[in-house]
């Protein structure tokens, strides 16, 4: 097939390559002249013939919204846009509505796999009409991993379902990462376990906790056994936040995913206002004098809370 | 009454004063010669006549254990020890057993109130035999706040019940403090609330969240409206830990108390090994190149988890 | 002063009474003919003379939005609406904008105190212009508890700040309630503490955890010492949810408040889909036969996770 | 090699089979006459010649302790016991000490893999002296999965390190399971995702969350797409509890693992005392009348917390 691809960052760049290896013709556009095939959206559209297929891989939020709006003007009835970025599923519903007014179809596609996707393939979750999904299937088949289609691709539901599924995927991912991380720290803190990387590596096969994320952690420890080259400072993207907010909207308890999210927030605070408040309260128990006081020299004590 | 008091730190020193104001004769012993009335436990015992009453106010763990063991040798059948420190309730059961072999009675008493107790009185939770509780009641009445006895004193059950109740009291306290602290941080982060101390002060009367802890936080903000003089570094004492461990032993869910405890642990970590592991995993998604990379210049993206 | 009051439910009804006791003239409107003074908003407005003051006490969301919209048409430039319900602070900003187009002023006021407010007074947190706050001060003074104004009233900031503060107040409240609740359950589970209500009552004075909420819990235990008359099923209102969502928006860790919220969600689930998934996973470890199997008769074992 | 194996439950039975397939001679003992090769520990020891090797696979706690004590009397200096069950690592240290007095060696070995281990092999984590580990290596090699030794086997440290590593493994497992479970529930609650099993299946390849546990969940959904045949009631074994208690001992924050543990506790409560306490508090806000009251008929409201 011939397809337009907007956004050639780390993800889009590799996806173009994987599609081409599968024999598809890809016209790529990016703001960066170094990587693009055409110089603008108009040129990209001109290179395609109807019914056109344009895949978006630009940052979620305003950049995606703006690209959808521009393409709505450039595309023709019967064309199809696939939003493969990380849009919030409610945005998808607005995109679909806008494009429907121009007779342009819309699918949302959650894409997982990171830089490994080029070789391994990408896990795909798609939302939208079955007929449109069918039309784009050669593209999905090229992007997804080899093996049975249903093990790397799902038609999850109507518009938004693909990104909803991806949102939940990322929320789960936060929880999984934090679970391994807490275990790592506890092994690290132990007096009896003397070879932490060896223990994690031994979990690679046969154990209940074996996973691709575990393999990645083992890999990281291979080159940096104490993870000393890194700081414990972790960003979060929108999807973890949306997962918890959506859980709240549905009254679904999400203690693990939210704990993982909050651990990231806390990791970025050089000093926590909340913990200053707790420290202030503890000082108040002990009286103002406590603030300057060193350890008591007597046998007496004041516990916190006594 | 005449009573021996071992341990004249911040708590014990004030308790001696409060007991004396109530007309009791207190013989105090401490390692610190500046504050003590007698020079040793032997001297303290000699100053009392049977049946003796000795109150312990020394640090929990080995110091208390050792003091109990020494007193077991010095006291006589019919004497009574009240452990007013922060012993774990299982320690109380061992202390009582040891002393029973010497015919010496034992009560455990959880004491709450901090430096404010001298003026306001101390909340007391006692474990042990009813007869012994009755014998020591004049002391409890002097220490507890004015008002109906049951509003500042409870006979909670057999040996250990007093410290068990105190342990839970402190666990709750951790949760309460953290709840206010999170609220404080969220107010502080807000764009619309411009006078955080005023909001907290306005909660003093009439609101659902009014409490003594809130009053203390307001007091702290009075002198330091941004809590800038403090670091968000918070110690914990044994009781918060014991509360969660005991909850686990009883299969009681304790998500709030444990979250408060973990927030304190995290506050003391200059860098978190767990979060280094999460950071390492995120780097692995994006490939090794990500570690040095600045923000992407293209319109493309790699989300975490994509 | 003369004031219109829309909404005479449990809160509004009592507030009318408290305002009248303070000497204000209150014209109350409610859908319920039994409690209202006038039969419609138009009649209510007619009973007031400019500049008018109308206090809203209707359910948050659509009912409040609709009432604001109707009053926008009925009121005159220079009039003032105070939204005393539980609107989300972002709604306030929309209300204020709409009313500004009609020259009508707007204040949002978070009100805390429940049914006790009639006698004790209500804690008030107000957002909006200082000039408007000043105009309504006689009303605020009548509603707030006696004592220094700043201990029951705060001008928290611009429009929305009052309800933002109330939102955080309620989030904190969730955390406080859950902390006491976990402690209660742990005392209840204990073998050594034999008189749980006595322990809670003893915390009334002198202790660190004393509070109005504790007093309410003691009151509840007075009439139902095991809380047997109740089910552990707890609703939540919008504010707890908003607090966590707002915390996420500001990257503020809120482990305690979110844990309290999730505990309420879980309390309402007769059966948890998530825990069915965990049960399904455990069954898979043990093989399909496990589902029907009773306890093993051998000395051997399969642990979960082995 | 020739080896004695005590405990032929689900795990031990399969391990005997796997060892025999690898060519080892296994003498198995169990209380159950149907599955055992010899009728008692004495007979088992008699069938082996020194230096003997005996693998234990009996329930943790007293059964293991008792078996170790009996074997201490029956074995000879130079013999070796491998504890392959789920002992707490502190128990291992006591076992090793006791056996050392008899000149008998001791290794602790955490074993992961469940019923799948027979075919796939078991992940092994071993604690104890390197010399003893070397002696038992043919057995470890037979039990572990095929592939590089270090991907299914680790010598984690001294005595106790194997079970410490297994404890952490299981703690992580709790977190992983709960993360998937929360995601499952959120997908299930969604209006837009209409095919939840398809989404999970699509995560099998290429995605960040792919894992063996995910494969098991997909398998479970294959035969029961709504998990309707199960109740959301989940047991826990000692290791999850120990992990959190150990984290507390080391001041390691473990919000995710503890949240997963508490979710299991809560899943087993038909009614939660803690949530009854929260419900009681909410009733107190609204006054006693609230308990019987249905929904208010007026337009007014009382929010929780107001």
Least confidently predicted of A41-50, C179-188, C278-287, D88-97: C278-287
Region D121-133 average pLDDT: 98
C100 three-class SS: helix
Instruction: Kindly state whether C242 is in contact with chain B, defined as any CB-CB distance less than 8 angstroms.
Output: no
pLDDT at A192 over 90: yes
Polymer length in residues for chain D: 306
Do B262 and D241 lie within an 8 Å CB cutoff? no
CB B125 within 8 A of CB B135: no
* pLDDT above 90: percentage of residues in chain B: 90
Q: What is the pLDDT of residues A64-107, one digit of tens each?
A: 999 999 999 999 999 999 999 999 999 999 999 999 999 999 99
Region A197-210 average pLDDT: 97
CB C217 within 8 A of CB D277: yes
CB D125 within 8 A of CB D156: yes
Q: What is the pLDDT of residues D149-192, one digit of tens each?
A: 999 999 999 999 999 999 999 999 999 999 999 999 999 999 99
Residue C272: φ, ψ to 5°: -95, 120
Do A274 and C253 lie within an 8 Å CB cutoff? yes
Active site residue B173: yes
Do C275 and D306 lie within an 8 Å CB cutoff? no
Report the C-alpha gap between B16 and B12 in whole angstroms: 6
Q: What is the pLDDT of residues C104-152, one digit of tens each?
A: 999 999 999 988 999 999 999 999 999 999 999 999 999 999 999 999 9
Report the C-alpha gap between C14 and C113 in whole angstroms: 11
pLDDT recorded at residue B114: 86
Q: What is the mean pLDDT of chain D?
A: 93
pLDDT recorded at residue A305: 40
Region C187-199 average pLDDT: 97
CB D247 within 8 A of CB A182: yes
Report the C-alpha gap between C184 and B165 in whole angstroms: 10
Tokens in use for A147? 């093996």
Report the C-alpha gap between A84 and A239 in whole angstroms: 14
pLDDT at C303 over 70: no
pLDDT at D295 over 50: no
CB atoms within 10 A of CB C206: 27
- Domains in chain A (CATH in brackets) are 2-157 (3.40.50.720), 166-267 (1.10.1040.10)
Instruction: Kindly state whether C285 is in contact with chain D, defined as any CB-CB distance less than 8 angstroms.
Output: yes
Give the sign of the dihedral formed by CA B124, CA B125, CA B127, CA B132: positive
Instruction: Kindly state whether C234 is in contact with chain B, defined as any CB-CB distance less than 8 angstroms.
Output: no
Q: What is the pLDDT of residues D20-38, one digit of tens each?
A: 999 999 999 999 999 999 9
CB B258 within 8 A of CB B244: yes
A chain contacts of residue C251, beta-carbon cutoff 8 Å: 236, 265, 268
pLDDT at A289 over 70: no
Enumerate residues 201 to 220 of chain D having a beta carbon within 8 A of any beta carbon in chain A. Answer: 201-214
D28 three-class SS: strand
pLDDT recorded at residue B285: 80
Q: What is the pLDDT of residues C235-271, one digit of tens each?
A: 998 999 999 999 999 999 999 999 999 999 999 999 9
Under the banding of pLDDT at 50, 70 and 90, the label for residue B296 is very low
Tell me which residue in B245, B253, B268 faces D262 most closely, judged by beta carbons: B253
Region B247-276 average pLDDT: 97
Do C244 and A241 lie within an 8 Å CB cutoff? no
Which of A119, A189, A276 to substitute to test the interface with B, most B CBs within 10 Å? A276
Report the C-alpha gap between C265 and C267 in whole angstroms: 5
Under the banding of pLDDT at 50, 70 and 90, the label for residue C295 is very low
Do C258 and A255 lie within an 8 Å CB cutoff? yes
pLDDT recorded at residue D291: 32
A chain contacts of residue C262, beta-carbon cutoff 8 Å: 253-255, 258
CA distances for C15 relative to C37, C154, C167, C169, D85, angstroms: 14, 18, 20, 20, 66
Region C95-99 average pLDDT: 98
Higher pLDDT, B297 or C63: C63
Polymer length in residues for chain A: 306
A chain contacts of residue B235, beta-carbon cutoff 8 Å: 282, 304
Do D255 and B252 lie within an 8 Å CB cutoff? no
pLDDT recorded at residue D294: 32
pLDDT recorded at residue C287: 53
Tokens in use for B233? 């570094």
Q: What is the mean pLDDT of chain C?
A: 93
pLDDT recorded at residue D85: 96
Residue C211: φ, ψ to 5°: -170, 170
pLDDT recorded at residue B287: 53
Give the sign of the dihedral formed by CA D49, CA D52, CA D57, CA D59: positive
Neighbours of chain D (3+ CB pairs under 8 A): A, B, C
Report the C-alpha gap between A67 and A99 in whole angstroms: 12
Do B254 and D248 lie within an 8 Å CB cutoff? no
| Catalytic entry in A17, A70, A173, A201 | A173
pLDDT recorded at residue D143: 98
Angle of helix B161-189 relative to helix B255-267, nearest 10 degrees, comes to 70
pLDDT recorded at residue A290: 32
A chain contacts of residue B59, beta-carbon cutoff 8 Å: 299-301
Neighbours of chain A (3+ CB pairs under 8 A): B, C, D
Q: What is the pLDDT of residues B34-73, one digit of tens each?
A: 999 999 999 999 999 989 999 999 999 999 999 999 999 9
Instruction: Kindly state whether C61 is in contact with chain B, defined as any CB-CB distance less than 8 angstroms.
Output: no
Do C175 and B256 lie within an 8 Å CB cutoff? yes
Report the C-alpha gap between C84 and C58 in whole angstroms: 8
Extended beta strands in chain D, E state: 2-6, 25-29, 53-56, 80-83, 105-112, 123-127, 153-157
Instruction: Kindly state whether D154 is in contact with chain C, defined as any CB-CB distance less than 8 angstroms.
Output: no
Q: Sheet with C153-157: list strands edge to edge.
A: C25-29, C2-6, C53-56, C80-83, C105-112, C123-127, C153-157
Region D225-237 average pLDDT: 93
A chain contacts of residue D176, beta-carbon cutoff 8 Å: 175-176, 179, 209, 211
B chain contacts of residue C147, beta-carbon cutoff 8 Å: 205
| Catalytic entry in A83, A166, A239, A246 | A166
Do B154 and C247 lie within an 8 Å CB cutoff? no
Polymer length in residues for chain C: 306
pLDDT recorded at residue D19: 98
Q: What is the pLDDT of residues B6-18, one digit of tens each?
A: 999 989 999 999 9
CB contacts < 8 A, A to C, total: 55
Active site residue D173: yes
Tokens in use for C305? 């996770």
pLDDT at A273 over 60: yes
pLDDT at C75 over 70: yes
pLDDT at B288 over 50: no
Instruction: Kindly state whether C146 is in contact with chain D, defined as any CB-CB distance less than 8 angstroms.
Output: no
A chain contacts of residue B15, beta-carbon cutoff 8 Å: none
Three-state SS string across chain A, please?
CEEEEECCCHHHHHHHHHHHHCCCEEEEECCCCCCCCCCCHHHHHHHCCCCCEEEECCCCCHHHHHHHHHHHHHCCCCCEEEECCCCCHHHHHHHHHHHHCCCCEEEEEEEECHHHHHHHCCEEEEECCHHHHHHCHHHHHHHCCCCCHHHCEEEEECCCHHHHHHHHHHHHHHHHHHHHHHHHHHHHHCCCECCHHHHHHHCCCCCCCCEHHHHHHHHHHHHCCCCCCCCCCCCCCHHHHHHHHHHHHCCCCCHHHHHHHHHHHHHCCCCCHHHHHHHHHHHHHHCHHHHCCCCCCCCCCCCCCC
| Catalytic entry in D83, D166, D239, D246 | D166
Under the banding of pLDDT at 50, 70 and 90, the label for residue A114 is confident
Do B253 and D266 lie within an 8 Å CB cutoff? yes
pLDDT recorded at residue D237: 85
pLDDT recorded at residue D50: 83
Give chain B's radius of gyration (CA, Å). Answer: 25
pLDDT recorded at residue D285: 80
Under the banding of pLDDT at 50, 70 and 90, the label for residue D287 is low
CB D199 within 8 A of CB D187: yes
Instruction: Kindly state whether B12 is in contact with chain A, defined as any CB-CB distance less than 8 angstroms.
Output: yes
Place of tokens 């001992």: D249
């Amino acid at each position: 097939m011939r397809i337009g691809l907007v956004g050639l960052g780390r993800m889009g760049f590799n996806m173009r390559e994987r599609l081409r290896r599968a024999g598809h013709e890809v016209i790529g556009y990016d703001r960066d002249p170094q990587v693009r095939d055409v110089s603008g959206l108009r040129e990209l559209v001109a290179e395609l013939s109807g019914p056109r297929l344009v895949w978006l891989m630009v940052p979620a939020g305003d950049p995606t919204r703006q690209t959808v709006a521009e393409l709505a003007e450039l595309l023709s009835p019967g064309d199809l846009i696939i939003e493969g970025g990380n849009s919030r599923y409610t945005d998808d519903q607005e995109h679909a509505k806008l494009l429907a007014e121009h007779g342009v179809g819309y699918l949302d596609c959650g894409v997982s796999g990171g830089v490994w996707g080029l070789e391994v393939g990408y896990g795909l979750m798609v939302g939208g009409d079955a007929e449109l999904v069918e039309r784009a299937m050669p593209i999905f088949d090229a992007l997804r991993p080899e093996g049975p289609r249903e093990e790397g691709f799902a038609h999850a539901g109507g518009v938004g379902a693909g990104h909803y599924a991806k949102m939940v995927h990322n929320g789960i991912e936060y929880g999984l990462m934090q679970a391994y991380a807490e275990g790592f720290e506890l092994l690290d803190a132990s007096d009896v376990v003397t070879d932490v990387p060896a223990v994690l590596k031994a979990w690679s096969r046969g154990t209940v906790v074996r996973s691709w994320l575990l393999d990645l952690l083992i890999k990281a420890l291979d080159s940096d056994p104490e993870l000393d080259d890194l700081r414990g400072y972790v960003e979060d993207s929108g999807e973890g936040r949306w997962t918890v907010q959506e859980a709240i909207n549905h009254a679904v308890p999400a203690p693990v995913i939210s704990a993982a999210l909050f651990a990231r927030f806390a990791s970025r605070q050089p000093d926590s206002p909340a913990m200053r408040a707790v420290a202030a309260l503890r000082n108040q128990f002990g009286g103002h004098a406590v603030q300057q006081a060193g350890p008591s020299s007597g046998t007496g004590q004041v516990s916190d809370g006594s």
